[in-house]
Chain A
């Protein structure tokens, strides 16, 4: 999942931080109380027992106008192109997929359920074949019933020029050789591995086991599209809705208005409600003005939510104002930052462990904006990843967050550590971070040379297996809520290739690789999830490949008339599936 580009440009700290399993539901608990429970479990509804319609949200009533303030327009709303966190979140209002998530904001297990499909998928052939049956009564906004052929056509689109900017997991899984080019350039050819024996059934057949398929078809890659209504690039601003709202007007870069879609039947949907009468997106704000408007909460802004974090300059003001503080949501997000030790070069485990002990997290957190926007990290998995286990294998002295310099020094006794080459993307924030890290680790006697790299070329440079960087700064947020989307990406040595690596520690441990491989093919994902926390701890304890630096924090506010929302553990945005406007 990507962050909005505009936000990346403006500030690394104001970026769409946000998802969380630790958040507050504003519908039933009243404003202002945090529920800091990490969501660390997942329930996958393979049996299709989730009730429809979705249970009513306490205190909710239909009506009113909800305003969503967002800096800049969506990059894409044509479903197969969607991959940025804000679009993934808010497109739920008008795009449906085969599966989807039910989040509750109370720290209870995340649920992956059938959305357009009756369940999260029926597996056969040990995970190589998946079958989905569509629900009765589902239709596009023009009243045309949705068929499995429309879903298959949407997936076909994802292979074309109109899907290249979306996630590529499903396409690669179906067609590893990349022979199929979509319904235009490969006209007449069927999508590899996708069959529709009847209008209600769609079957996926893979050359390998793909236990993660239920997650992949929750992306808008699997949003149905009517072939006769697909208008190519024009579909970005004139799409057919399948969800509870449809387009009323769309002015690029200015605003988008949604009204209820009367062809959406709540009895077919276990996830969404349609409480607000209308929803207005205002794209003409920036971080400062959206913060100011939601703080003021006057006029239409009383029923508004912001899509960015509170700007750092306003955090003190928010915390000092009890009314606004009561409308604040602070929570953990899926985003973690690391300082990876290139295990091809820093081969001595004790040196890596000494680096872990010497790191001063308190100084680091203060340098990147303070404890409101970041929390000291000690695990590779983010607290919202199903299976997350809280532990700290390298605690600070006396339980503090300043590291344990004496322990680090004792591990280094008798060793000569050469000057370490520290590589980072050259941004103002990272320059500050380098200086803090350097000072912090120098306490144990480490010395460094800095190697700032152009941000645009950073991951390409450090993703080259022959890199001579010793320490590599990086960040990660899971693409889907499963331990394999973190450990299977960052620590699987079997995936190391000459160029384009995500495993920046270049960890290649046979035992870890084997365990990751075993967990990856388990078709019972909740059972697999429960083992990722232990694997995380084992990696940190016995291999210490990366220093977890911080968990990013969600810190955002909503208007005084907003109810039924909380921070989404998935998309780093407010959850809007049960949002309502208080009268």
Chain B
């Protein structure tokens, strides 16, 4: 287990290094000129352009800028010089090109929004999807099964920006059944947080649950056809025990993998959901940063997303061992 963990951590560090180098390189290899986009004038005069480049610290060699960036992540750094310098403590992810606000502050502000959307939706789609899939498999061929398959097909074929806008139109603007989506910190008001997040949770939950329902059904059906299930039933174990202790546990293992990877990806920013419901999460901040050529925010969101995806991979691998005793880590 220890060797496994060490190997995975080393691999994660290498991956992050590669991701950060690639992001940095792509930014500078492309036609990036953040100074021009920030310039007050449509065609930036050279003197103003030079002042902005200096203010951004982009007049340094690219390798030096990258080295400074990495150093800042571990030990902090000073951005700029003289009286206009900003002290950026570790983990320093830079300051926004546009507002000179520390990127860590931006992440602290946007991340709870993304986390709220993803965590609530996860509960919704796992609850609905897995329950429906399991029931559908157990009652294979029944009316319930057909309903479940129809449900999966319908919602799996929908897009968030379509279903989200449709639900908002009818449930918020036409009938007023749900409050308009907004993020209120649960520390301020738990009720406000839940009511503001309800529609994103329902939308993302419905669409993702469709996939999980189909997966759960297929996995459960496959497990139910295994010899050991037949054996368990033949030796007279109660049917509930057969399903829950033997079949469900085996069927759920691949679902954990997919849920874990999904979670990692979504925690990196659910751009479409955030944009559909105008929630200022990390994904939306990242897209805005790309349009504004705001490198520090692009770097930070890419790196955070990579960290989360890698972390979720490791966690999933470890969970395997807990859920399925056949898996041993070494």
Complex contact B38–A289 (CB within 8 A)? no
Complex contact B173–A500 (CB within 8 A)? no
A232 at the interface (CB under 8 A from B): yes
Complex contact A285–B278 (CB within 8 A)? yes
User: Which one of B80-88, B142-150, B254-262 contacts A?
Assistant: B80-88
Complex contact B37–A456 (CB within 8 A)? yes
Complex contact A252–B101 (CB within 8 A)? yes
Kindly identify which residue among A168, A184, A460 contacts B45, using a CB–CB cutoff of 8 Å.
A168
B42 at the interface (CB under 8 A from A): yes
A284 at the interface (CB under 8 A from B): yes
User: Which one of B3-11, B47-55, B234-242, B315-323 contacts A?
Assistant: B47-55
Bitwise, B46-65 to A at CB < 8 A (1) or not (0) is: 11100110110000000000
Complex contact A457–B31 (CB within 8 A)? yes
Task: Give the Cβ gap from B55 to chain A, nearest Cβ, in Å.
Answer: 4
Complex contact B292–A5 (CB within 8 A)? yes
Complex contact A254–B280 (CB within 8 A)? yes
B231 at the interface (CB under 8 A from A): no
Q: Which residue of A lies closest to B196 (CB)?
A: A284
Residues in B whose Cβ lies below 8 Å from that of A293: 180
Q: Which residue of A lies closest to B184 (CB)?
A: A254
A164-B52, A168-B45, A500-B43 known; A75-B98 Cβ under 8 A: yes
Bitwise, B163-177 to A at CB < 8 A (1) or not (0) is: 001001000010000
A162 at the interface (CB under 8 A from B): yes
Complex contact A75–B84 (CB within 8 A)? no
Complex contact A232–B173 (CB within 8 A)? no
Residues in A whose Cβ lies below 8 Å from that of B23: none
Residues in B whose Cβ lies below 8 Å from that of A254: 183, 280
CB neighbors of B among A166-187 (8 A): 166-168, 172, 178, 181, 184-185, 187
A253 at the interface (CB under 8 A from B): yes
A397 at the interface (CB under 8 A from B): no
B39 at the interface (CB under 8 A from A): yes
Complex contact B48–A253 (CB within 8 A)? no
Complex contact B109–A233 (CB within 8 A)? no
Residues in B whose Cβ lies below 8 Å from that of A236: 99, 101
Bitwise, B1-45 to A at CB < 8 A (1) or not (0) is: 000000000000000000000000000000101001111111111
Q: Which residue of A lies closest to B52 (CB)?
A: A164
Complex contact A454–B101 (CB within 8 A)? no
B312 at the interface (CB under 8 A from A): no
Residues in A whose Cβ lies below 8 Å from that of B106: 252
B159 at the interface (CB under 8 A from A): no
A316 at the interface (CB under 8 A from B): no
Complex contact A165–B100 (CB within 8 A)? no
A57 at the interface (CB under 8 A from B): no
Complex contact A233–B101 (CB within 8 A)? yes
Residues in B whose Cβ lies below 8 Å from that of A167: 40
Complex contact B99–A284 (CB within 8 A)? no
A5-B292, A9-B291, A292-B173 known; A161-B48 Cβ under 8 A: no
Kindly identify which residue among A162, A284, A456 contacts B182, using a CB–CB cutoff of 8 Å.
A284
Complex contact A165–B38 (CB within 8 A)? yes
Q: How far is the CA of A515 from the CA of B45 in the complex (A)?
A: 25
B211 at the interface (CB under 8 A from A): no
Complex contact A162–B84 (CB within 8 A)? yes
Task: Give the Cβ gap from B93 to chain A, nearest Cβ, in Å.
Answer: 16
Task: Give the Cβ gap from B115 to chain A, nearest Cβ, in Å.
Answer: 16
Kindly identify which residue among B31, B46, B280 contacts A456, using a CB–CB cutoff of 8 Å.
B31
Residues in A whose Cβ lies below 8 Å from that of B84: 160-162, 184-185, 232
Residues in A whose Cβ lies below 8 Å from that of B292: 5
B279 at the interface (CB under 8 A from A): yes
Residues in B whose Cβ lies below 8 Å from that of A160: 84
Q: How far is the CA of A502 from the CA of B83 in the complex (A)?
A: 35
B110 at the interface (CB under 8 A from A): yes
B154 at the interface (CB under 8 A from A): no
Complex contact B288–A459 (CB within 8 A)? no
A541 at the interface (CB under 8 A from B): no
A443 at the interface (CB under 8 A from B): no
Bitwise, A289-300 to B at CB < 8 A (1) or not (0) is: 100110010000
Q: Which residue of B lies closest to A175 (CB)?
A: B47
Size class of the B contact interface (CB-based, 8 Å)? 35 or more
Q: How far is the CA of A362 from the CA of B275 in the complex (A)?
A: 34
Q: How far is the CA of A398 from the CA of B74 in the complex (A)?
A: 73
Bitwise, A67-109 to B at CB < 8 A (1) or not (0) is: 0000110011000000100000000000000000000000000
Most chain B beta-carbon contacts within 10 A, residue among A76, A164, A285:
A164
A37 at the interface (CB under 8 A from B): no
Task: Give the Cβ gap from A202 to chain B, nearest Cβ, in Å.
Answer: 23
Kindly identify which residue among A164, A187, A286, A454 contacts B83, using a CB–CB cutoff of 8 Å.
A187
Size class of the A contact interface (CB-based, 8 Å)? 35 or more
Kindly identify which residue among A83, A164, A185, A284 contacts B279, using a CB–CB cutoff of 8 Å.
A284
Residues in B whose Cβ lies below 8 Å from that of A181: 51
Q: How far is the CA of A32 from the CA of B285 in the complex (A)?
A: 38
Residues in A whose Cβ lies below 8 Å from that of B173: 292, 296
Complex contact A161–B80 (CB within 8 A)? yes
Residues in A whose Cβ lies below 8 Å from that of B293: 456
CB neighbors of B among A146-204 (8 A): 160-162, 164-168, 172, 178, 181, 184-185, 187
Q: How far is the CA of A185 from the CA of B98 in the complex (A)?
A: 20
Task: Give the Cβ gap from A340 to chain B, nearest Cβ, in Å.
Answer: 14
Residues in A whose Cβ lies below 8 Å from that of B80: 161
Q: Which residue of B lies closest to A289 (CB)?
A: B278
Q: Which residue of B lies closest to A9 (CB)?
A: B291
Task: Give the Cβ gap from A60 to chain B, nearest Cβ, in Å.
Answer: 30
Complex contact B46–A500 (CB within 8 A)? yes
A168-B45, A236-B101, A457-B31 known; A185-B40 Cβ under 8 A: no
Complex contact B82–A185 (CB within 8 A)? yes
Q: How far is the CA of A172 from the CA of B40 in the complex (A)?
A: 13
Q: Which residue of B lies closest to A282 (CB)?
A: B182
Task: Give the Cβ gap from B60 to chain A, nearest Cβ, in Å.
Answer: 15
Complex contact A463–B43 (CB within 8 A)? yes
A267 at the interface (CB under 8 A from B): no
Complex contact A165–B39 (CB within 8 A)? yes
Complex contact B40–A165 (CB within 8 A)? yes
Complex contact B40–A2 (CB within 8 A)? yes
Task: Give the Cβ gap from B177 to chain A, nearest Cβ, in Å.
Answer: 14
Residues in B whose Cβ lies below 8 Å from that of A288: 165
Q: Which residue of A lies closest to B102 (CB)?
A: A233
Q: How far is the CA of A284 from the CA of B181 in the complex (A)?
A: 9
Q: How far is the CA of A6 from the CA of B82 in the complex (A)?
A: 32
Complex contact B288–A9 (CB within 8 A)? yes
Q: How far is the CA of A83 from the CA of B291 in the complex (A)?
A: 18
A26 at the interface (CB under 8 A from B): no
Q: Which residue of B lies closest to A1 (CB)?
A: B40
Residues in B whose Cβ lies below 8 Å from that of A40: none
Residues in A whose Cβ lies below 8 Å from that of B44: 500
Q: How far is the CA of A168 from the CA of B41 in the complex (A)?
A: 8
Complex contact A5–B291 (CB within 8 A)? yes
Complex contact B48–A168 (CB within 8 A)? yes
Task: Give the Cβ gap from B58 to chain A, nearest Cβ, in Å.
Answer: 13
Complex contact B40–A166 (CB within 8 A)? yes
> Which residues of A come within 8 Å of B, CB atoms?
2, 5-6, 9, 71-72, 75-76, 83, 160-162, 164-168, 172, 178, 181, 184-185, 187, 232-233, 236, 252-254, 283-286, 288-289, 292-293, 296, 454, 456-457, 459-460, 463, 500-502
What are some 13 contacts across the A-B interface (CB < 8 A)? A5-B291, A6-B288, A161-B51, A161-B100, A232-B86, A233-B95, A233-B101, A286-B275, A286-B278, A288-B165, A456-B293, A459-B43, A460-B36
Known: A72-B288, A161-B55. 13 other contacts (CB 8 A): A161-B100, A164-B48, A172-B45, A184-B83, A232-B100, A252-B105, A254-B183, A283-B280, A284-B279, A286-B275, A289-B180, A293-B180, A456-B293
Chain A to chain B: the 10 pairs with minimum beta-carbon distance, closest first: A184-B83, A233-B100, A161-B55, A178-B47, A253-B280, A500-B43, A286-B278, A83-B40, A161-B84, A463-B43
